[in-house]
Chain A
Amino acid sequence: MTPFPFTAIVGQDEMKTAMILTAIDPKIGGVLVFGDRGTGKSTAVRALAALLPPIEAVKGCPVNSARPEDCPEWAEVTATEIETRPTPVVDLPLGVTEDRVTGALDIERALTRGEKAFQAGLLARANRGYLYIDEVNLLEDHIVDLLLDVAQSGENVVEREGMSIRHPARFVLVGSGNPEEGELRPQLLDRFGLSVEVTSPKEIETRIEVIRRRDAYENDYPAFMAEWQPQDAELRTHILTARAALPHVRSSNVALHDCASVCLALGSDGLRGELTLLRTARALAAYEGASEITRAHIRSAAPMALRHRLRRDPLDEAGSAARVARQLAEVLP
């Protein structure tokens, strides 16, 4: 069954926009969706997977290499033809072992044939695609350490059991979770380009529409898909157009200045905030068909790009969203 269509998700505009923007520019670096249960967090991620344009990769390559010469040696890929495959969206389940994430000695081959071979892990499969972690705040610390390291270097290195293996692992990190169950480490937070907070819709009509569509999806699947798939296709075209337009979007000195002053006012750590804000604003401009980044783009991109980068103040009662809004109103009138 095809996942629930992205365009059929009711409301949750910020979450949808954030996901579309990372699809337009994967360099933005992923989305963290935090919020209530049953608000369609994982539905949206799975819907996004169906929406992403396919990639081209060497046939049979376990790390989705674009060119035959990029295939890692250990994979023993002999084919040279290129095939199109869907953008990989790999689930990283909780309680996953380190072996499965990084890859390890192929135990089956070792035991039955006595051969030393490498079995690629989830990181290999996620290369050039998305890595999705549901309930990311429950992820065990040693897996988080490992992810941080790989996300930083873009390369997965396995040195164990007498093997020395490396392969590229560049992926967009998508996480979802419920803040009531625990907080996320600041280092991991920082790896997410954008962060959005979702809440259960408050208006009764919206709630009814959500469950009505879900019910239709489950009980009247063909008709429902016939209605929504064209809209998903349209959005996919829109994303591709925006992607093509991205390099042509101009960023004026004023826009750069705006980005810097917002980040400075908020006291976000490092320069990643500015960069992400600029990239997000540019993707937004491309999505809206604008030729230049305007202040309006920066203003709407700022909350999702900066919310999770503020230095944490345990005694500040106001949420980080409120702090971003406050500073935005002051700095970018």
Chain B
Amino acid sequence: MGNSTPPTPKQIFAELSVELTGFDRAELAGTGMIDTYYDTLLRMIGEREAGQLLRFASEALDKDRTEKMNGTAFRPAVIDSPRFGPVAVSLIKLWYLGMWYPLPAVYRDLFGSTADDVGHVVSGQGYREGLVWVAAGAHPMGGKPPGHGSWAEPPSLLNPTP
């Protein structure tokens, strides 16, 4: 974090979310969903387990940053971890789609999850702020209308290579 004050768990959560989604801190803050999704994580796997995820993620992200490891510490510590990988998967889907996808049975067999860990749309705002719409160069269906005739204009993203 670049200063002497240790980051709060919510700050770590935001940093973790940046790594998982490919959206920067300002973009995520702009959705207004950081607090809600942080609470969602705690509701789904409990405070203690969430604390562990954030501790390991924070250490790996620090390492990637200070030793310029370009994500090579984060991947094995979080993405490839049987303990944190499935939670990361659900968090990515949450950010992109506004919907919580429940953790897999193989995860629960080892680490459990809460009774709240069922598929649900977290909120209407979460749907509207789904990152998938931005990634698609579009807008949420039924929200944030881009204006009359906007659909006739060339799309905002450059032509990708097939």
A, B co-complexed: no
Q: Which residues of A come within 8 Å of B, CB atoms?
A: none
Q: Which residues of B come within 8 Å of A, CB atoms?
A: none
